[in-house]
Amino acid sequence: MHLLCAGLLWLSLSNGLSADCPGRCSCESRQFVQCYRLMEVPSGIPSTTKSLYISHSRIQHLQLSNFTGLLALEDFILLASGTESVENDTFKTLSTLRTLEFWKNKLRRVPSALPANLEVLKLNDNSICALHASDFEGLKKLKVLELKNNLISSLSPSMLPSLISLRSLMVDGNNIESIAGPLSLPHLKHMSMENNKLHLIPGNVFTSLQNLQFLSFSGNFLTKIPTNLPKSLLSLKMERNQLKVIRFRDVRHLENLSRLYLSENFLSSIDGVQLLTNLTTLEVSQNRLQTLPPRLPARLQKLDCSSNFIQKVTAPEFQDLRDLKHLFLDNNVVSVFEAGALQRCSQLSNLALEQNLLLSIPLRLPKTLARLDLKGNAIQNMSERELRDLKLLQVLNLRNNKISALDLKALEGLPRLRHLYLDGNPWNCTCSVLRAREVLKAKGTDVKGGQCAAPAERQGESWMSSKKIVRQCEHHLHQNEKSKESKKKSKLEDSSSIRLSMDDDDDDYEID
């Protein structure tokens, strides 16, 4: 019996599980403890524990005694456990604590007297209404502070004292209506205030944020881009606001800005955007643009102008965009696409033109294209002339157009085509379409072919899978071959007849 117990103990330890691990918990190497569905923080957690993770429990209140003896604890994460309060000084003596996270609980305030060595504090998805100077007092080593999805209504310098090492501040999804400055966070690199209720950002907010690189005010009520933004910015997100006009001369000092997000606003023009010379990503989808600006930043790699009112695409807008790789012009009203308009875009790999008013596939598209999306236009055919240069094309989407026949030469000229979407077109299912199907199968292309619209007896049939069409075409082919053989035989007989009559003629003219 003793040998059996010893064997079980050895087995549990060899699997990395401590023999004295609390119930509903797993303990790995007596350092990493995970617990689920508890009613309280369990006693008996190994004193050597460095990481404690508790989730989906019912722990209404945390108290100092829960952590007595856990002097090696570095990370404590409490997820979705209904916790409403934390006793004062609960974490004060945990000098080794580096990470403290309370996700999806019911906290109404920031826990008090947090240890001075804390580096990461995440209190997302709680019910915190306000921040106080005492909440973060002494946290000079704190690098990450997240308070997303709470009930905070304002933000000011007095609420964030001592945070001289803070690198990331996330307060998305609160009720913040006002922000005061200057925020004394000299090492801050990431700041996000998405989905709040901001109408105005005072210019002095950024006075001390001279290392800020990533800034997001998406999902507010801002009518203009904040002034006095730091030159250090690399990315600025202003989607889902109420921008109508952008004075790009006010932000031209942002010489390091590489990504600008302006989607879902009320912009009718982005003239002047070329002043941001280092921009590589520009997103202006779901605005009110009717034309593209005559000049765009030459270093652009991604341009998203989808869901606007753009009517035509011409060469001048794209003549300097030699680095452009992704162009999204879907969901516009483009009816004119100048031949060769994108010829200078010598690295373009992805072109989205779905849901426009095109009657044909644009001519002289860049040879570098790997994906071409033309779904939902009024294109009537696909020809070799339009596609012959696209030797690198892998995905072609022509769904929901007006194409009724396929050009075999066009398909044979696309050696790398892997996915072809053709459903939603009025296919005339003749045997030539079946031949195209065989070509595509031989190439290994994945095809969504759609249904026949004609002839009447084949309506509703899938031309990629219908056995009926195959049988009819095989019968038709057999009949054609029989007809050809018959004609050939007839020609041979006619030829024999001619030779015989010629022999007769020779006999007639034979000289003795």
Tokens linked to 387: 């596609």
Specify the pLDDT at position 466: 77
Specify the pLDDT at position 489: 55
Specify the pLDDT at position 486: 58
Q: Over 90: is that where the pLDDT of 333 sits?
A: yes
- 373: which strand partners? 352, 397
Q: Over 80: is that where the pLDDT of 419 sits?
A: yes
pLDDT digits (tens, 9 = 90+) for 25-38: 999 988 999 999 99
Contacts of the segment 345-352: beta carbons below 8 A, 24+ positions apart: 345/318, 345/321, 346/322, 347/322, 347/323, 348/324, 349/325, 349/392, 350/325, 350/326, 351/327, 352/306, 352/327, 352/328
* % of the chain residues with pLDDT over 90: 78
Q: Cis before residue 186, ω within 30 degrees of 0?
A: no
Q: Over 80: is that where the pLDDT of 483 sits?
A: no
Q: Over 60: is that where the pLDDT of 507 sits?
A: no
Ranges 2-11, 96-105, 114-123, 207-216: which has the least confidence: 2-11
Over residues 458-474, mean pLDDT = 81
pLDDT digits (tens, 9 = 90+) for 343-377: 999 999 999 999 999 999 999 999 999 999 999 99
Specify the pLDDT at position 493: 54
- 510 pLDDT band, cuts 50/70/90, is very low
- 437 pLDDT band, cuts 50/70/90, is confident
- 18 pLDDT band, cuts 50/70/90, is low
Specify the pLDDT at position 31: 95
More confident residue, 268 or 11: 268
Question: Could you tell me which residues come within 8 angstroms of residue 505 by beta carbon, excluding any fewer than 6 positions away?
Answer: none
pLDDT digits (tens, 9 = 90+) for 124-135: 999 999 999 899
Specify the pLDDT at position 128: 98
Specify the pLDDT at position 12: 37
How deeply is 171 buried, as exposed, middle or buried, from its count of CB atoms within 10 A (0-12, 13-18, 19+)?
buried
- 6 pLDDT band, cuts 50/70/90, is very low
- 408 pLDDT band, cuts 50/70/90, is confident
The helix (run of H) or strand (run of E) holding residue 32 is: strand 32-36
Nearest by Cα to 261 from 284, 290, 229, 291? 284
Maximum C-alpha span of the chain: 138
CA gap 276, 259 in Å, rounded: 10
Q: Over 50: is that where the pLDDT of 506 sits?
A: no
Ranges 100-114, 435-449, 485-499: which has the least confidence: 485-499
Pair 118, 138: CB distance under 8 Å? no
Q: Over 50: is that where the pLDDT of 10 sits?
A: no
Q: Over 50: is that where the pLDDT of 17 sits?
A: no
Q: Over 60: is that where the pLDDT of 297 sits?
A: yes
Over residues 416-421, mean pLDDT = 96
Between the alpha carbon of residue 126 and those of residues 79, 149, 458, the distances in Å are 11, 7, 61
- 491 pLDDT band, cuts 50/70/90, is low
Specify the pLDDT at position 94: 96
Question: Could you tell me which residues come within 8 angstroms of residue 272 by beta carbon, excluding any fewer than 6 positions away?
Answer: 246, 247, 248, 249, 293
Tokens linked to 231: 């030159």
Q: Over 50: is that where the pLDDT of 236 sits?
A: yes
Q: Over 70: is that where the pLDDT of 77 sits?
A: yes
Over residues 470-475, mean pLDDT = 75
- The conformation of residue 41, written as its DSSP 8-state character, comes to P
CA gap 446, 417 in Å, rounded: 9
CA gap 418, 350 in Å, rounded: 15
Specify the pLDDT at position 470: 76
- 508 pLDDT band, cuts 50/70/90, is very low
Residue positions counted in the chain: 512
- 488 pLDDT band, cuts 50/70/90, is low
- 273 pLDDT band, cuts 50/70/90, is very high
Residue 277 has a CB neighbour count (10 Å cut-off) of 12
- 478 pLDDT band, cuts 50/70/90, is low
Specify the pLDDT at position 342: 97
Nearest by Cα to 41 from 16, 15, 14, 70? 70
Ranges 15-24, 125-134, 309-318, 343-352: which has the least confidence: 15-24
CA gap 97, 346 in Å, rounded: 53
Mean model confidence pLDDT for the chain:
89
Q: Over 70: is that where the pLDDT of 458 sits?
A: yes
Over residues 381-403, mean pLDDT = 95
Specify the pLDDT at position 19: 62
Q: Over 80: is that where the pLDDT of 481 sits?
A: no
Go through 116-126 and write b for each residue having 16 or more CB atoms within 10 A of its CB, e for each that does not.
eebbbbbbbbb
Ranges 281-285, 397-401, 486-490: which has the least confidence: 486-490
Tokens linked to 39: 């009613």
Sign of the torsion angle spanned by Cα atoms 66, 70, 76, 80: negative
- 7 pLDDT band, cuts 50/70/90, is very low
